[in-house]
């Protein structure tokens, strides 16, 4: 009983771990059972669903994406087939699944008062460029709109740039650190490298766990050491999840998932930090929306709602009875913008 209790508390499975791909892997079904989830095949041998009253997880063989209550979240290692069942890396249970299903709620409540917005690129760095549109123009336009909405919601907002100026990447999180920001949100728009135009939808990045490769690893792999951002990576993941969910549900766009990267603007931030790729400038329809102020207002509202949803999880209003093991990623209702910061 003690062993099972310890395993549940740590998110470990009582099942035997198997070494696989140089990682410790455990059977998904055993982990699910130990954590009160019922497991069954959606497609025998290929796809497993694990459910309880409030949670639905879908795992696919050889895939690094898990669907958590309808939102895609990147794993660090693929789900692996083994003797008629599927295995999951213990590192992914510890750094992706457990922090979302069982966040360390109420143990360290933190008011969010100051938010640092980082409009990507600027000045000589145009970012993605399609026809006469530069990414730097639209990241700034979105940041200015978002600043206004966040201020109305009661937050203090600082910007890494408020004009078309060049700012070095390390200076961006450094500003947030220096000014004591509680959250760091970097804003970007995407483009496919080949200009292929069928890809659309937002994706939200947070720091890669120690010992893992990034979702889109570019010259940095599992050997990269711990970063400052890894100290608060669970909160960053929770923020990234709430953000992706809010964007996808409010804007009704395809979900490109919560992803992991050691981008320069993420790895040095000492507060929860995310990077939003708000959509694709290479998509014929989505690009026109990105260039449209009304759509950017909607996107800014979705970002505010994502922040408020995160805030409710990590810094609930007073006089709420403490609870543990509360699923943080349930529910599909759209969050409403409150007119003032509930923590103030
Ligand atoms: Zn960019």
Question: What pTM value is reported for the model?
Answer: 0.87
Indicate the pairing of strand 156-159 with strand 258-260: unpaired
Question: Which residue from 316, 112, 280 is spatially nearest to 200, judged by alpha carbons?
Answer: 280
- 156 CA to centre of ligand 1 in angstroms: 24
- 126 CA to centre of ligand 1 in angstroms: 9
Alpha-helix residue ranges (DSSP H) falling in 11-72: 28-34
Question: Which residue from 161, 172, 184, 145 is spatially nearest to 302, judged by alpha carbons?
Answer: 145
The dihedral over CA atoms of 96, 54, 63, 313, expressed in degrees to the nearest 10, equals -30
Question: Which residue from 162, 135, 147, 136 is spatially nearest to 307, judged by alpha carbons?
Answer: 147
- 213 CA to centre of ligand 1 in angstroms: 20
- 89 CA to centre of ligand 1 in angstroms: 31
- 91 CA to centre of ligand 1 in angstroms: 29
- 188 CA to centre of ligand 1 in angstroms: 4
- 11 CA to centre of ligand 1 in angstroms: 36
Question: Which residue from 159, 217, 216 is spatially nearest to 187, judged by alpha carbons?
Answer: 159
Q: Which tokens go with 2?
A: 């003690």
Question: Which residue from 29, 25, 33, 43 is spatially nearest to 7, judged by alpha carbons?
Answer: 33
Q: Which tokens go with 70?
A: 């309808």
Indicate the pairing of strand 133-134 with strand 258-260: unpaired
- The three-point CA angle 192-194-196 to 5° equals 65
pLDDT in tens, 219-229: 466 678 889 99
Strand ranges across the sheet with 114-119: 38-43, 47-51, 56-60, 65-68, 71-74, 258-260, 203-206, 273-280, 183-190, 114-119, 156-159
- 313 CA to centre of ligand 1 in angstroms: 29
- 105 CA to centre of ligand 1 in angstroms: 33
- 122 CA to centre of ligand 1 in angstroms: 10
Q: Which residues of 202-211 are buried (b: 16+ CB within 10 A; e: fewer)?
A: bbbbbbbbee
- 208 CA to centre of ligand 1 in angstroms: 18
Question: Which residue from 189, 318, 307 is spatially nearest to 256, judged by alpha carbons?
Answer: 189
Q: Is 46 exposed, middle or buried (0-12, 13-18, 19+ CB in 10 A)?
A: middle
- 160 CA to centre of ligand 1 in angstroms: 14
Give whole-number Cα distances, 186 to 105, 149, 232, 270, 272, in Å: 25, 16, 16, 14, 11
- 189 CA to centre of ligand 1 in angstroms: 6
Quote the strand ranges of 202-263, DSSP E.
Answer: 203-206, 258-260
Would you give the distance in Å from CA 142 to the centre of its chain? 19
- 141 CA to centre of ligand 1 in angstroms: 14
d(CA 335, CA 254) in angstroms, rounded, equals: 19
Q: Which tokens go with 240?
A: 């990234």
Print pLDDT tens along the chain (344 aa). 444 444 444 444 445 688 887 899 999 999 999 999 999 999 998 999 999 999 999 999 999 999 999 999 999 999 999 999 999 999 999 999 999 998 876 556 678 999 999 999 999 999 999 888 999 999 999 999 999 999 999 999 999 999 999 999 999 999 999 999 999 999 999 999 886 789 999 999 999 999 888 887 564 666 788 899 999 999 999 999 999 999 999 999 999 999 999 999 999 999 999 999 999 999 999 999 999 999 999 999 999 999 999 999 887 665 544 454 445 565 433 333 333 333 32
pLDDT in tens, 85-121: 999 999 999 999 999 998 876 556 678 999 999 999 9
- 194 CA to centre of ligand 1 in angstroms: 16
Q: Which tokens go with 318?
A: 């007073």
Question: Which residue from 234, 229, 215 is spatially nearest to 310, judged by alpha carbons?
Answer: 234
């Amino acid at each position: 009983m003690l062993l099972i209790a310890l395993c549940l508390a740590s998110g470990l499975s009582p099942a035997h771990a198997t070494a696989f791909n140089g990682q410790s892997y455990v059977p998904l079904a055993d982990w699910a059972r130990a954590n009160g989830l019922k497991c069954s095949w959606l497609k025998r041998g290929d796809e497993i669903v694990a459910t309880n009253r409030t949670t639905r997880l879908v795992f696919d063989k050889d895939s690094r994406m898990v669907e958590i209550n309808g939102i895609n979240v990147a794993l660090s290692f693929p789900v692996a087939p083994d003797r008629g069942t599927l295995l999951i890396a213990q590192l992914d249970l510890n750094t992706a699944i457990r922090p979302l299903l069982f966040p360390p709620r109420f143990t360290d409540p933190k008011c969010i008062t100051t938010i640092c917005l980082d409009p990507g690129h600027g000045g000589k760095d145009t970012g993605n460029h399609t026809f006469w549109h530069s990414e730097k123009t639209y990241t700034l336009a979105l940041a200015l709109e978002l600043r206004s909405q966040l201020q109305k919601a009661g937050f203090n907002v600082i910007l890494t740039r408020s004009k078309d100026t060049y700012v070095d990447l390390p200076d961006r999180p450094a500003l947030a650190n220096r000014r004591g920001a509680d959250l760091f949100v970097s804003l970007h728009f995407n483009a496919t490298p080949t200009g292929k135009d069928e890809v659309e939808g937002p994706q939200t990045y947070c720091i890669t766990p120690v010992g893992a490769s990034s979702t889109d690893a570019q010259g940095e792999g599992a050997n990269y050491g711990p970063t400052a951002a890894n100290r608060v990576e669970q909160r960053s993941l929770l923020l990234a999840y709430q953000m992706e969910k809010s964007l996808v549900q409010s804007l009704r766009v395809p979900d490109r998932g919560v992803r992991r990267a050691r981008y320069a603007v993420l790895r040095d931030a000492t507060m929860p930090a995310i990077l939003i790729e708000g959509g694709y400038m290479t998509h014929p329809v989505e690009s026109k929306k990105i260039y449209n102020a009304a759509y950017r207002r909607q996107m800014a509202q979705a970002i505010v709602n994502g922040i408020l949803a995160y805030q409710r999880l990590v810094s609930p209003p007073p006089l709420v009875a403490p609870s543990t093991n509360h699923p943080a990623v349930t529910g599909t209702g759209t969050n409403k913008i409150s007119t003032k910061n509930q923590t103030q």
